[in-house]
Structure 1
């Protein structure tokens, strides 16, 4: 009969062999683009994400309240009905990190996302659609914050 110590040693050996052979799944971690999250303006953000110069478009919609009573939980959304969208972004101009959310989408799903973000102060909120053909389209809306969410 195997002891518990022998069983654990055997399991560790098997796990090590599986990892060396590449048979264990990779860690479930989100992709991290440090340059994008450190960008302070739209031009730097597009450079970090490999996008072109953005153009304002009526085909992209940004949703959010005109006045947010609590900056810690501001509901915002981005959508477009255009075909060929590969990524939707939500940007908060005056936040320490301009990029608040990034969603990769395909033609198999409707390009319509919503989330909640923190806003430290009143700011413009941008919905950005990055297209498969390299175009970058955006819409913006001003959201006024009465109680700051980023330490305020």
Structure 2
């Protein structure tokens, strides 16, 4: 009969062998556009993503409260009915970092996302759709914050 110590020793040997052959999964790292999340203005955001200036479109929608009671957790959603969308973004105009969320979209994913963001003050909130052909569309909504979330 094997002792626990012997079993652990053998399993560590098997794990080392599998790792040496490259058969163990590596650590997952999320890839994101650092320059886009560092953007302070819409012009900087568009430039960092390498896309054209956005145009307003009714097929892109932004959802959220008219008045957010607590800026630390503001529920926002973005969606579009446009075919051929590549990315959906949520941006808050007066936040220290304008871009709050970036979602990559494929044909197998419905372009409809919800999240919670932190807002320091009342601001315009944007849903931005980047299309496969390089066109960019947006929708905006003003959200008023009664209690600041970003250090307020």
Return the TM-score normalized by structure 2: 0.87
SS at match of 2:127: strand
SS at match of 2:134: coil
Please name the residue that 1:95 is paired with: 95
Moved more, 83-92 or 6-15: 6-15
Measure how far apart 1:93 and its partner are: 1.0
Please name the residue that 1:55 is paired with: 55
- Structure 2: distance between partners of 1:88 and 1:21: 39
Aligned pair in 2 of structure 1 residues 34, 9: CA closer, same or farther (>3 Å)? farther
Moved more, 123-132 or 40-49: 40-49
Measure how far apart 1:7 and its partner are: 4.9
Say how many residue pairs are matched.
152
Please tell me whether residue 120 in structure 1 is matched to residue 120 in structure 2.
yes
Instruction: Give the superposed CA RMSD.
Output: 1.9
Please name the residue that 1:109 is paired with: 109
Moved more, 140-149 or 29-38: 29-38
Please name the residue that 1:27 is paired with: 27
Unmatched segments (≥5 aa) in structure 2: none
Please name the residue that 2:79 is paired with: 79
Moved more, 22-31 or 118-127: 22-31
- Structure 1: distance between partners of 2:17 and 2:42: 47
Aligned pair in 2 of structure 1 residues 89, 22: CA closer, same or farther (>3 Å)? same
Please name the residue that 2:142 is paired with: 142
- Structure 2: distance between partners of 1:46 and 1:6: 59
Aligned pair in 2 of structure 1 residues 32, 9: CA closer, same or farther (>3 Å)? farther
Please name the residue that 2:69 is paired with: 69
Return the TM-score normalized by structure 1: 0.87
